[in-house]
Chains A and B, each alone.
Chain A
């Protein structure tokens, strides 16, 4: 082997590290180190002036599993994710297809779809709060027009979570649309023509050709949507505060409460670690499973 070539290789490796270093340093400082500190914290009991913090092992985790709220919150979040992810992906796809089609005033349509993305969540939540106002709100006025009874959308356990879900879908779909829109450009138009000549209708083309080809984008969007289904809670603070009776409480909101309202950072830390673990595992499984199916790229 050529010695110079070896040297060259080592130098390139060094360059690589040097280039990545600033970002890695900042990341360690503001994400990895605090995350590890969180992990550490989660192993200690909550300290107060009467009882100092002591090592508690996995007690905090045990407490969480014993807490019925944990199960409520976890199942709420599962429902929330289970609905927001597919539905917003569906809308994003429909939007992208429409925004990509030749329809009148296309740029207005695109802007309309995208606008929720640039609205601050807090402001958007305040607007929706008034949308949902029983009787007076726009929604009840519309349903009332069709003769429906006024509904206390945010005030009943049956509809509270659904109302939150709708806001999330509204906020996210336009963002995901952008990624689909971009992916659609990379699909050669002659595939569509070939499919038509082979006798495929619109629906067959979409189902048999378009959707499989958009799979990589769908994975990207899916992972992002999954992260957001845990991360996005700004609207909860305004819309329901997790109520009524925890009916719309999501994991991160609960973590937030534990950390900053209950002064119980060890349990919050434990919960955080659980979420991190779950997200990481799901993401890895996702990538693994789907990579097999999309290797044609």
Chain B
């Protein structure tokens, strides 16, 4: 059972990682926690349902459609909920939190309206493919999810730290005016980032659909909250932190069910962040703010 639970934990953790990366990326650039990310993720999952179940098209098209649709949603989110607040004077740093919460409420209810409130079946042949290793059954989906998470993490790390675009992004994150004085087209940089982050949410959505056959308008919230916990756990804006945090959480949740009390599963994430923040207020991998005094 141990190995099976380990695989369960890794699968869940990998999905958490992908969701968390979306949060981290947007936070990294904009210093904004995008509360609408969970719902964008949920839309990705529904796109999978629409394409494979309703239209009966193949799975890869579902990925394409989900990426496109969530990318567009990201674009709208940036245009309507974030951009108007940016660089405006007297805007509290809470404002984007609220406006993205607005987006999440809006999207959740739109999903209700179009897809109904219940679960929608997401059935693909891919989710049936498996092989047996000793006494454990492993599904290909589980491996695919894990690999995608790893790839996304390395891709992002490389992009942020090594490429020019990544540096431009970090510069924009810190100071929009300065970044633009240095020649960065900040508007484009930011829009791109939000779109990429949202598309990652779309990918995660489809993966959840395949792995768990559970797609409903409320899933944005439950995964979203976990994603939030993870980025705090790992340190805001920190890609490696999101990876480690996500995997740890997936494992922890699985193991508390397996060897502890499943009633506390949803609390694990938050107990962990409370403990960690008390010990290390900047998260596991976060760097202490290097503010100068005086």
Say whether A and B bind each other: no
Q: What residues make up the interface of B, taking CB atoms closer than 8 Å to A? A: none
